[in-house]
Amino acid sequence: MPNIEQKSIDLATQEVLKKAKEENIQTAWDRLELQQPQCGFGQLGLCCTVCNMGPCRIDPFGEGAKEGVCGANADTIAARNLARKIAVGASAHSDHGRDVAHTLSLICEGHTHDYGILDVEKLKVLAQEFGIDINKPKEQIAKELSKRLLEEFGKQEGELTFLKRSPKKRQQIWKKLGITPRGIDREVVELLHTTTMGVDNDYKNLITTGMRCALSDGWGGSMIATDVQDIILGSPQPIRGKVNLGVLKENYVNIVVHGHEPVLSEMAVKASLDPELLKLAKSLGAEGINLAGICCTANEVLMRHGIPVAGNFLQQELVIITGAVEVMMVDVQCIMPALQEVASCFHTKLVTTSPKARFPGVIHVEFESKKAYEVAKQIIRLGVENFANRKKDRVNIPKQEMDLVAGFTKEVVFQILGGRYRATYKPLNEAIISGRLRGLAGVVGCNNPKQTHDYFHTTLVKELIKNDVLVLQTGCSAIACAKQGLLIPEAAKIYAGGGLQEICEAVGIPPVLHLGSCVDNSRILTAASYIIEEGGLGEDLSDIPAAGCAPEWMSEKAITIGFYFVASGVYTVFGASPFATLGSQNLTDYLTSGLEGIVGGRFEFCDDPIQMAKLMIEHIDKKRKALNLKPVMYEK
């Protein structure tokens, strides 16, 4: 049984885990223990439940069956299981994108007055990408754009519009391989179809279809979510904030937003400032209303409003166990079913808001774009009224909180590196070309109780920046590193190598840039395309001295992200997991080496963060050599 220090490196997490133990409240770590030993066939990806002749399992090492009842072998079963995960991940991000595009259409039709068009420039840029004439009122442009965006989901032919953002060479690679995604829904459905009993039995072909589906997420659904959120909620700018459980306030009504779709949490930000609710809170003995976030919703409201982040994925139960949360309002994705049980140990009201994500017996206040503010106010009021029920003797808010800077979009990277009046990626490219920067890394993804919480993210990122690799982050990974003080400009002096330090000091940025939530991984794709467009670093995304990593991943969405990065030409490392020990050697070999000759990117599976950094740096150096770039200036 791991001790508390082995469960998490985060002191706030350790403190609340001790409280949970004393009070006999189960968390994900306890449930993981109760699951031991976990199903070996499942871990190998070799349990098949596709049809009712099963469940079948393959015994790859012993004397057991080598085929399921239908004759499917380890390669087919493992690839089908993986492909299904890609489809699920893509559907989650893309359904989010669809909802945001739908909100845009409601705005232009006058069906909601709680949102507006806040980034008109971005609206016009997107409209032009879709060939829409922009010489008309913004509402008209938005109406036409929302229609076109929604059509991206149901398109049957042609290709997704945002693919044009990628370098020409990349587009040709996709065309040649037949993995240019058409409509987003079509790719998800087609992939699911191919995985049912008796359809695709070729593991390589399943991965090909899987890559097309994943690309429809990265360059489709996720990109739509990101860009339309910027249009209707405003594009982020670098902003200071605070992170970790210490952001909860003892004398305030604490409301925690958790999930992924920021359309409601945006209204919660406004409602937390509502004079009527503030007056009510004060009349009930609170000093005010304190809003904080968990997971990707946290990243969204942090990037746009500087709302504090209470924690990442594995802290969602812990935030309730502090005893100081009046309401946790949740929407979709990454919300543990266990929250209901944990909340029942305290006065905390758990409130679901999406018709897609409900808990039996939990308060449900359904979100509707048409009356978004009203709904948010209703939920915050529930929290204010619940303040009186807080048991003061059960409150234990850890002291830990850390400053961070977030809000680095692809447009902001233009500005900060190119100067306010010279929007260009040239300085970034030149820094890589000259060797001041070794390269770039995207470090993203979740937490997983199988790995020491936050340890993989922070150890890997420290090692990368020490070697002059500028790190771009999203999701729970960004929150992990922020808690350890890596997302402030001052971190450069302590942790970064000489070249990266010079750049950070010259432009006043942290060595680790927070680009947002997980759908905002699409910002990394677009930024990488700008780098190629700027020149000097090759003709394709696979030429850039860059690598990706999801060191503590757990979600199916992470698999989809991994696949769209690999299919876009990126070398991508995944942390230890069942995915890393697939029961099909053929499939593992294909993912970790075969794919490179086909799409330019490939997977690597590794369970040690220092080794992960080493592999990523080796890859970056390989790409530097291929481009014939100068040696790195400050070689360690």
Residues 537/447, Cβ–Cβ less than 8 Å: no
Helix segments in 217-332, DSSP class H: 222-233, 262-271, 275-283, 295-305, 316-321
Residue 295, class by beta-carbon neighbours within 10 Å (0-12 exposed, 13-18 middle, 19+ buried)?
buried
Does residue 518 touch ligand BF8 according to CB under 6 A? yes
Residues 230/304, Cβ–Cβ less than 8 Å: no
Shortest distance, position 314 Cβ to ligand BF8, whole Å? 8
Does residue 559 touch ligand BF8 according to CB under 6 A? no
Nearest residue (CB) to ligand BF8, 236 versus 538: 236
Shortest distance, position 543 Cβ to ligand BF8, whole Å? 28
Site for ligand BF8 in 448-477 (CB under 6 A): 475-476
Helix segments in 307-450, DSSP class H: 316-321, 339-344, 372-386, 410-418, 426-434
Shortest distance, position 479 Cβ to ligand BF8, whole Å? 8
Shortest distance, position 396 Cβ to ligand BF8, whole Å? 24
Exactly one of 555, 560, 584, 588 binds ligand BF8 (CB under 6 A); which one? 555
Shortest distance, position 442 Cβ to ligand BF8, whole Å? 13
Nearest residue (CB) to ligand BF8, 349 versus 557: 557
* Number of residues engaging ligand BF8 in binding (CB under 6 A): 14
Q: Mapped to the 3 state alphabet, what secondary structure does 8-65 carry?
A: ECCHHHHHHHHHHHHCCCCCHHHHHHHCCCCCHHHHHCCEECCCCCCCEECCCCCCCC
Does residue 334 touch ligand BF8 according to CB under 6 A? yes
Query: And the tokens for 610?
Result: 């220092």
Residues 307/271, Cβ–Cβ less than 8 Å: no
Say how far residue 349 (Cα) sits from the centre of its chain. 26
| Calculated CA dihedral for residues 349, 242, 32, 561, nearest 10 degrees | 110
Does residue 598 touch ligand BF8 according to CB under 6 A? no
Does residue 235 touch ligand BF8 according to CB under 6 A? no
For the chain, the straight-line distance linking the first and the last C-alpha, in angstroms and rounded, comes to 38
Does residue 482 touch ligand BF8 according to CB under 6 A? no
Does residue 153 touch ligand BF8 according to CB under 6 A? no
Does residue 564 touch ligand BF8 according to CB under 6 A? no
Site string for ligand BF8, 397-416 (x = CB under 6 A): --------------------
Nearest residue (CB) to ligand BF8, 91 versus 517: 517
Does residue 339 touch ligand BF8 according to CB under 6 A? no
Nearest residue (CB) to ligand BF8, 325 versus 480: 480
Query: And the tokens for 446?
Result: 């979740």
Residue carrying structure tokens 């594009």: 235
Nearest residue (CB) to ligand BF8, 314 versus 591: 314
| Calculated CA dihedral for residues 336, 340, 343, 345, nearest 10 degrees | -120
Shortest distance, position 592 Cβ to ligand BF8, whole Å? 22
Nearest residue (CB) to ligand BF8, 462 versus 557: 557
Shortest distance, position 260 Cβ to ligand BF8, whole Å? 6
Give the β-pairing of 363-364 and 349-352.
parallel
Shortest distance, position 552 Cβ to ligand BF8, whole Å? 9
Residue 55 is which amino acid?
P
How many whole angstroms separate alpha carbon 617 and alpha carbon 467?
8
How many whole angstroms separate alpha carbon 85 and alpha carbon 217?
13
| Calculated CA dihedral for residues 604, 607, 608, 613, nearest 10 degrees | 20
Nearest residue (CB) to ligand BF8, 215 versus 296: 296
Nearest residue (CB) to ligand BF8, 291 versus 558: 558
Shortest distance, position 173 Cβ to ligand BF8, whole Å? 27
Which one of the spans 46-54, 78-86, 491-499, 551-559 is the region binding ligand BF8 (CB under 6 A)? 551-559
In 495-574, the DSSP E strands lie at 512-514, 546-550, 572-574
Does residue 313 touch ligand BF8 according to CB under 6 A? yes
Query: And the tokens for 623?
Result: 């790409």
Q: Which of 239, 215, 618, 614 is nearest to 412 (CA)?
A: 239
Nearest residue (CB) to ligand BF8, 330 versus 629: 330
Nearest residue (CB) to ligand BF8, 183 versus 445: 445
Does residue 527 touch ligand BF8 according to CB under 6 A? no
Shortest distance, position 454 Cβ to ligand BF8, whole Å? 12
Give the β-pairing of 402-406 and 239-243.
antiparallel
Exactly one of 267, 295, 379, 380 binds ligand BF8 (CB under 6 A); which one? 295
Q: Which of 15, 496, 563 is nearest to 246 (CA)?
A: 15
Exactly one of 557, 602, 619, 623 binds ligand BF8 (CB under 6 A); which one? 557
Does residue 445 touch ligand BF8 according to CB under 6 A? yes
Binding site for ligand BF8 (CB under 6 A): 260, 295-296, 313, 334, 445-446, 475-476, 517-518, 555, 557-558
